[in-house]
Amino acid sequence: MKRILMLSTGGTIASKESGQGLSPAITSEEILDHVPAVGGLCRVETLQLMNLDSTNVSPAHWLEMAGAIRERYEEYDGFVITHGTDTMAYTAAALSYLIQDSPKPIVITGSQKSIALDDTDARRNLYDSFLYASDRESHDVSLVFDGKVILGTRARKERSKSFNAFSCVDYPEAAVIRDKKLIRYLAPRTYTYGAEPTFYDALEDKVLLLTLIPGMGAEALDLLKDSYQAVILQSFGVGGLPGGGDGPLAQAIEGWLEDGKTIVMMTQVPYEGSDMSVYQVGQQVKERFRLMEAYNMTLEAAVAKLMWVLGQTRAPEQVRELFYRPVQHDIIL
């Protein structure tokens, strides 16, 4: 029977009413007590890392999670992290970059209702997560929720209240769990005996996301340039910049690049990605400036990957090479 470590970080699954709204207060041991059937799947030990609303989870906490797994990696056969849903997709993406090529599964899960409630989805999600983590063909970082197994770089929260909160964006789900049976859609990755993951311990959190709206000027980009190392610009459709290659926004981009900053263009559209070469307003910008394009990456993956890349290097060509190097199918070129 496999030995799995459950790391608790808080979130709705661990919440109780505080008098001012829900707040994480249930411990890792108490969470596990609500799902005794897990004992028939594996041997579980728990670790209370933190007890936060996931709105308060930051890159520093991602590093803490990765570090806790690194310290205990040889002791366990897999890991399950309980987490709030609001930033769970960001954490899943971040851990996919901080812990790469892991022959042992690292599963992230949570719930839309507290595990202390009768009508909660928490018990099913937790059981499914341990079922997946206990399977000998499970590897790498995944998000397990509402019977879906989603690669850590491909998850997005799309519903704020429903139990089917997460979708797999522009890539197939790795597996589903139905009636406590694991059904794989994708062939599992094969690891040789003795394979070891690569751990990273640096992130650059000075990354800005700026979503463009019609009529928006360049003032925000100009004012924020000195406070950030990189900016992700979310534009419209397949990608373009108001004013094309000669407008105020283009001039602001030029100032960022001259200061050695990194710029990534991506679309606001949830599915099918960007292609700035399609329209003049995008093609002009792409031809004029040495910026990067996120293509079919999720927003969460683009943010986390850029933080990871800039944590390793600031050299423009190395930044570009690392950003476009696929990690767990995060980008399909």
Q: Strands 155-157 and 166-168: what pairing?
A: antiparallel
**Residues 129, 131: Cα–Cα separation, whole Å:** 5
Asked if residues 6 and 110 have their Cβ atoms less than 8 Å apart, the reply is no
**Residues 73, 79: Cα–Cα separation, whole Å:** 9
Asked if residues 257 and 291 have their Cβ atoms less than 8 Å apart, the reply is yes
Asked if residues 301 and 97 have their Cβ atoms less than 8 Å apart, the reply is no
Asked if residues 76 and 106 have their Cβ atoms less than 8 Å apart, the reply is no
Active-site choice (12, 87, 267, 298): 12
Does 12 qualify as catalytic in the annotation? yes
Q: How many CA atoms lie within 13 A of 12 on its CB side?
A: 21
DSSP 31-48: HHHT-GGGGGT-EEEEEE
Asked if residues 27 and 68 have their Cβ atoms less than 8 Å apart, the reply is no
**Residues 275, 296: Cα–Cα separation, whole Å:** 9
Structure token pair of residue 201? 């311990």
Which of the residues are catalytic? 12
